[in-house]
Amino acid sequence: MPAIPNKRTPSAVETAVSLGVLAVLATVLAWMFQAQRRFNPAVTVAAAAAESAAKAAGAPVASPPELFASWPVGLGAMSVAESFTPATLSDKIDGKAELYLSAGFVAMRCQRVALVANPAAWMEAFVFDMGTPASAFSVHSSQKRPGATEVELGDYAYRAGNVLCVVHGRYYVEIVAADDRVPTMEAATGLARVFVATTAVEQHADVSRDQALFPPEGQLAGSVTLLSTDVFGCEQLTDVFVARYREGDGEVTLFVACRASPAEAGRQAAALRSFFVKDCGGRELSPPAAPAGAAIIDSGGTFDGVFASGPILAGVHQAPSGEAAERWLVRLQAKLPPAQP
């Protein structure tokens, strides 16, 4: 009997099936890589929080027994000072922790104090270390109460009823009092002054340059806000200044963001435009005559506009009509520095 080799060449059908299986596997692999590249930002925040907590745990923390170096006359400690990290912040402020975490929160310390003469008049001072003055301004401006009264104290200080808020370098300080009576709020102001006077900072928050990019006419007082993440629901859009304006019976929001280069601003303008259309189900209108390269999107009854001018990303959010959106875009462009050719 002749020797017959065991090996044989695969048939065309077998080859085709094998290639098909490999193609499916490659597709699955590509999908997995793609999915892993687009992490939910919540996961990123949680991971960053865990990393910060681990670092904090590894480093010795100098934790003085009192929150402030000295107390103003007439105030005494009501509780011990507490410290919170990114991993534990929500234990203290529950769902509001996300606002701080997404803006770069580092640590928070707090302590309750009361008037010696009237222990029922108590307050809790919160000192949030936000890492940078810009982040401190971001959480400060995001929570600013309408009708707040400016206070001559530190940066961007205001009082709204029973609460006093101030930015001091990388710190955002909030003092929440149990009532809004004069002695209580005077004590709260004194407490804030002590913090500002005794806490050295390298740099102060200064958003005047960004603020100056907005047209002043019609701007609602105190409405300039720095949004750190997830601006307008767009995950890719971060660190954007917004300001609100009166428009008829309602409001519109203008936004500006200085980017590293004109190319970066242009790329983000395109991404935001795509977000309004693809993710929000919007419909792009015919391009307006000005600004050059601008797009206006009908987002289901409200209108968003976006353009890039040099390194600045700018636009309007939730205008009542396409015409209004175009009008606000032109007004905004007129305030921006001319783009270099």
**Rounded Cα–Cα distance for residues 237 and 199 (Å):** 33
**Any contact of residue 28 with other proteins (CB under 8 A)?**
no
**Any contact of residue 95 with other proteins (CB under 8 A)?**
yes
Q: Is the dihedral of CA 46, 48, 53, 54 positive or negative?
A: positive
Q: Which candidate, 139, 327, 150, places its Cα nearest to that of 225?
A: 139
Q: Where are the beta strands (DSSP E) in 61-214?
A: 75-77, 82-84, 107-115, 118-129, 149-150, 155-160, 163-168, 171-177
Least CB distance to other proteins at residue 148 (A): 7
**Rounded Cα–Cα distance for residues 217 and 174 (Å):** 30
Q: Which of 129, 179, 239, 251 binds other proteins (CB under 8 A)?
A: 179
Query: The tokens of 205 are what?
Result: 């928050």
**Any contact of residue 143 with other proteins (CB under 8 A)?**
yes
If the CB atoms of residues 138 and 309 are measured against other proteins, the closer one turns out to be 138
**Rounded Cα–Cα distance for residues 312 and 212 (Å):** 13
Q: Which of 17, 18, 51, 96 binds other proteins (CB under 8 A)?
A: 96
**Any contact of residue 230 with other proteins (CB under 8 A)?**
no
State the chain's maximal CA–CA distance in angstroms: 115
Edge-first strand order for the sheet with 225-227 is 225-227, 240-247, 250-258, 312-319, 303-309, 295-298, 283-284
The letter for the amino acid at 125 is: A
Q: Which candidate, 318, 314, 328, places its Cα nearest to that of 213?
A: 314
**Any contact of residue 38 with other proteins (CB under 8 A)?**
no
Q: Which of 58, 60, 65, 147 binds other proteins (CB under 8 A)?
A: 147
**Per DSSP, what are the bridge partners of residue 163?**
160, 176
**Any contact of residue 194 with other proteins (CB under 8 A)?**
no
If the CB atoms of residues 96 and 283 are measured against other proteins, the closer one turns out to be 96
Q: Which of 163, 185, 297, 306 binds other proteins (CB under 8 A)?
A: 163
**Any contact of residue 182 with other proteins (CB under 8 A)?**
no
**Rounded Cα–Cα distance for residues 257 and 143 (Å):** 20
If the CB atoms of residues 43 and 260 are measured against other proteins, the closer one turns out to be 43
Least CB distance to other proteins at residue 14 (A): 13
Calculate ∠ Cα 304-307-310, nearest 5°: 155
Query: Which residues neighbour 146 within 8 Å (Cβ) at sequence distance 6 or greater?
Result: 222
Q: Which of 90, 199, 302, 321 binds other proteins (CB under 8 A)?
A: 90
**Any contact of residue 181 with other proteins (CB under 8 A)?**
no
**Any contact of residue 83 with other proteins (CB under 8 A)?**
no
Radius of gyration of the chain (CA): 27
Least CB distance to other proteins at residue 194 (A): 20
Tell me which stretch binds other proteins (CB under 8 A): 27-35, 154-162, 225-233, 254-262.
154-162
Residues in contact with other proteins, shown as a per-residue x/- string from 102 to 131 under the rule CB under 8 A: ----------x---------x-x-------
Q: Which of 48, 53, 56, 148 binds other proteins (CB under 8 A)?
A: 148
Tell me which stretch binds other proteins (CB under 8 A): 35-43, 67-75, 200-208, 330-338.
35-43
Q: How many residues bind other proteins (CB under 8 A)?
A: 36
**Any contact of residue 340 with other proteins (CB under 8 A)?**
no
Interface contacts to other proteins, rule CB under 8 A: 4, 6, 8, 40, 42-43, 46, 79, 82, 90-99, 112, 122, 124, 143, 145-148, 160-163, 174, 176, 178-180
